[in-house]
Chains A and B, each alone.
Chain A
Amino acid sequence: MLKRDHQLVLPTQARAPGFRVELRGTTFRLIATGAWTVAEAVRLDTALKRLRVPIPPTPDFTGEMDIAGIAEIDTAGAWLLQRTANAWQASGLRTHYAGATEAFRVLIEEVQRRGNIERPKLEKPNPLTQFGEDMTKTVTSVWRDAVQLTAFLGEVTAALGRMIRQPWRFRRTSFVHHLDHAGFRAVPIIALICFLIGAVVMQQGVVQLKPFGAEPFAVNMVAILALREVGILLTAIMVAGRSGSAFTAEIGSMKMREEIDAMRTLGIDPMDTLVLPRVLALVVALPLLTFIGDIMGLAGGGLMAFVVLGLDTTNYLDKLHEAVDYLHFMAGMIKAPFAAVIIALVGCLEGLKVEGSAESLGKHVTSAVVKAIFLVIILDAVFAMFLSGIGV
């Protein structure tokens, strides 16, 4: 902001910006006063837009921007003046400034010079074609995702093969770190959730089966459900939300800060250092967590069986033995490593797809969780069909 006088502090009424237009002889004069600054720009803008551009009756009429009364001016004020001057100029008035200090003149000339540059047009697409394009993009992206994920699975398998031939390339510290974060630290929350769901299912089962006099079979239901479906699904979904998102965020922010490029140039393969330890850690951790989930689900059911059915521990365990066998347990457990691979692959792949902005990171973290959970459920369905096909 430029002031006419550096020492001057304006009283409030003198700050009020204003202007009037008068015709003297053959000169249209715009007499501007007060503070022409960005804070006053809205008021000035509306008033100036209401002002009609004078039409010169003969070509020898001129325009004058008298700014001797302006006490403060900044780029917004200068731009407003200049816009008016340009409009007058366009209507055939030769317009000049009067009463400008040296500093004011420099600013106004700068604004005049800068204001005339060509602007790039931002093309607004037709909403219908936009909709069509979005639709096509979304549909093709499903296919592209599938291809990318398959390719990534291939890359990880190849990296695993390399590592088996050269075992010293295995990143033990990183593996243990992820085992701790994705596995050990997830134990309390997964135990709690599975316990609660086991209890809820048992209680509901008893209530629903009572009219048929079949309430003892609630134990069979809970046992089969916990071992075959609930344990693995709940655990996998929790891990996808906890660790899949963390993988994407970690790798994504490294990608944003060019750390991954730095690794590549140092001859370090991000597959070895970042992806493999995470995938392997999850492949180890998820079955263990699933086992804990299974046991806690059964324990929750047991507590409810005691409360609503009056079954003590011995009876409950006997009933469990009758209801389920080793195959039921394995039918749930077999899915765990597959779910682990899916969650880790999706998490790492989405992380590697992050681009420069924070928004992109957020988008990929979200899509990692959504895709991982979706794929885990698909996997569960495929296994359900397969297992019933082979009669387990």
Chain B
Amino acid sequence: MIVENGREVLIRVRGLAKSFGSQQIWDGLNLDVFRGEILAIVGGSGQGKSVLMRVITGLVKPDKGEVSLFGQNAKALSTADRLDIEKRWGILFQDGALFSSLTVLQNIQVPMREHLDLPQAMMDDLAFLKLSMVGLPPNAAHKFPSELSGGMRKRAGLARALALDPEIVFLDEPTAGLDPIGASDFDHLLRKLQQTLGLTVYMVTHDLDTIFTVCDRVAVLADRKIVRTGSPGELQRQPNHPWIKEYFCGERARAASPPGGRAKIPISA
């Protein structure tokens, strides 16, 4: 377990470098993700936000650098340890990435079936519980992903990511493509799940509303590394970097966070 400033570091990235062909996307990237926080990764397009998530989750190999997952070096993990770690995280891909030949209920049960030996009745109970926790109506359970709307697919994908009660969830642009009401519902849902389940959330996002209402900390990807981390308010008050200034002090940011600050979604049941 890595502890820094009295907080447990779930994921630590040090000195990461990666290039695709002649294009170097990072050089010496460092990042810490603390237990219990909602962290947003922001950055211009082409800065490798989604790739960073893929490197941390082991889908893409970095050229250089180290990734520690729950205090263990990702490179040194045996297959069995790796499997244990995969049980401790959940991932929501951009469009849910639900298995199209399975119903929503079966999708949620895939991780349970794969990693645990639960009786069917219990898997059904737990899957319905997760379904309801992400705000899907019970009649969505027996539908196929192609019969759901985009927002519902995201919720179903989140339910699958939460199937094994992970400690951390990775979200790739969770509110992209949702209408403002749907996006705001999703924000509330995230906040609520984070409180009830003690989740750590790592999300790649562009949505300023989400950043200002639910995120505890923001990490900014620019110039091939994480140039700054801090609360959304801090970044807005002291941008110290042209891209951050443009992003957090632009017209849209002012609309999302009027002077005087915007209230976070309160912590309540």
Known A75-B130, A76-B126; contact A357-B144, beta-carbon cutoff 8 A: yes
B90: min CB distance to chain A, Å: 12
Q: Among A39-47, A131-139, A317-325, A380-388, which stretch is in contact with chain B?
A: A39-47
Question: Which residues of chain A have C-beta atoms less than 8 A from B141's C-beta?
Answer: 119-120
A107 contacts chain B at the CB level, 8 A cutoff = yes
Closest to B192 in A: A110
Question: Which residues of chain B have C-beta atoms less than 8 A from A103's C-beta?
Answer: 195-196, 198
Q: Among B14-22, B59-67, B115-123, B213-221, which stretch is in contact with chain A?
A: B115-123
**A358 contacts B100, C-beta separation under 8 Å:** yes
**B132 contacts A117, C-beta separation under 8 Å:** yes
Closest to A7 in B: B8
| From A1, A9, A45, A115, contact of B198 by CB (8 A) | A1
Interface centre among B117, B138, B164, B165 (most CB of A within 10 A): B165
B113: min CB distance to chain A, Å: 13
A155 contacts chain B at the CB level, 8 A cutoff = no
Binary interface encoding of chain A residues 330-369 relative to chain B, with 1 for a CB under 8 A from any of its CBs, else 0:
0000000000000000000000000111110000000000
B209 contacts chain A at the CB level, 8 A cutoff = no
Question: Which residues of chain A have C-beta atoms less than 8 A from B198's C-beta?
Answer: 1-3, 103
Interface size on B, residues (CB 8 A): 36
Question: Which residues of chain B have C-beta atoms less than 8 A from A79's C-beta?
Answer: 125-126, 129
**A41 contacts B146, C-beta separation under 8 Å:** no
A342 to B142, CA, bound (A): 38
**B165 contacts A76, C-beta separation under 8 Å:** yes
Chain A 83-133 residues near chain B, CB threshold 8 A: 83, 103, 106-107, 109-111, 114-115, 117-120, 122
B37: min CB distance to chain A, Å: 12
Interface centre among A7, A38, A115 (most CB of B within 10 A): A38
**B1 contacts A41, C-beta separation under 8 Å:** no
Question: Which residues of chain B have C-beta atoms less than 8 A from A115's C-beta?
Answer: 125, 128-129, 132
Question: Which residues of chain A have C-beta atoms less than 8 A from B165's C-beta?
Answer: 1, 37-38, 74-76
Known A106-B269, A110-B196; contact A42-B116, beta-carbon cutoff 8 A: yes
Question: Which residues of chain B have C-beta atoms less than 8 A from A120's C-beta?
Answer: 138-139, 141-142
A143 to B226, CA, bound (A): 63
A6 contacts chain B at the CB level, 8 A cutoff = yes
Interface centre among A119, A120, A358 (most CB of B within 10 A): A119
Closest to A103 in B: B198
B232 contacts chain A at the CB level, 8 A cutoff = no
B157 contacts chain A at the CB level, 8 A cutoff = no
With contacts defined as CB atoms under 8 Å apart, how many contacts are there between chain A and chain B in the complex? 91
Binary interface encoding of chain B residues 195-227 relative to chain A, with 1 for a CB under 8 A from any of its CBs, else 0:
111100000000000000000000000000000
B167 contacts chain A at the CB level, 8 A cutoff = yes
**B145 contacts A357, C-beta separation under 8 Å:** yes
Question: Which residues of chain A have C-beta atoms less than 8 A from B253's C-beta?
Answer: none
B101 contacts chain A at the CB level, 8 A cutoff = yes
A122 to B120, CA, bound (A): 15
Chain B 54-99 residues near chain A, CB threshold 8 A: 87
**B269 contacts A117, C-beta separation under 8 Å:** no
Interface of A is mostly: helix
- A interface residue count range (under 10 / 10 to 19 / 20 to 34 / 35 or more): 35 or more
Question: Which residues of chain B have C-beta atoms less than 8 A from A357's C-beta?
Answer: 100-101, 144-146
B132: min CB distance to chain A, Å: 4
| From A37, A119, A356, contact of B145 by CB (8 A) | A356
B188 contacts chain A at the CB level, 8 A cutoff = no
Question: Which residues of chain B have C-beta atoms less than 8 A from A110's C-beta?
Answer: 133, 196, 269
Closest to B199 in A: A1
Question: Which residues of chain B have C-beta atoms less than 8 A from A41's C-beta?
Answer: 116, 118, 122
A118 to B138, CA, bound (A): 7
Closest to A109 in B: B269
B35 contacts chain A at the CB level, 8 A cutoff = yes
A2: min CB distance to chain B, Å: 4
B185: min CB distance to chain A, Å: 16
Closest to B105 in A: A122
A275 to B94, CA, bound (A): 33
A118 to B116, CA, bound (A): 26
**B122 contacts A2, C-beta separation under 8 Å:** no
A200: min CB distance to chain B, Å: 41
A122 to B138, CA, bound (A): 12
Closest to B141 in A: A120
A41 to B123, CA, bound (A): 10
A73: min CB distance to chain B, Å: 9
Closest to A9 in B: B1
**A74 contacts B197, C-beta separation under 8 Å:** yes
A80: min CB distance to chain B, Å: 9
Closest to A74 in B: B165
A308 to B126, CA, bound (A): 73
Since A1-B197, A358-B101 are in contact, a sample of 9 more A-B pairs with Cβ atoms closer than 8 Å, ordered by chain A residue number, is A38-B164, A39-B87, A75-B129, A79-B129, A107-B196, A118-B138, A356-B100, A357-B100, A357-B146
Closest 8 A-B residue pairs measured CB to CB? A356-B146, A357-B100, A74-B165, A359-B101, A114-B132, A2-B198, A106-B269, A120-B139
Could you pull out 25 A-B pairs where Cβ atoms are within 8 angstroms? A3-B198, A6-B36, A38-B112, A38-B164, A39-B87, A39-B116, A45-B122, A75-B130, A75-B133, A75-B165, A75-B197, A79-B126, A103-B195, A103-B196, A106-B196, A107-B196, A107-B197, A114-B132, A115-B125, A119-B138, A119-B141, A120-B142, A357-B100, A357-B145, A358-B101
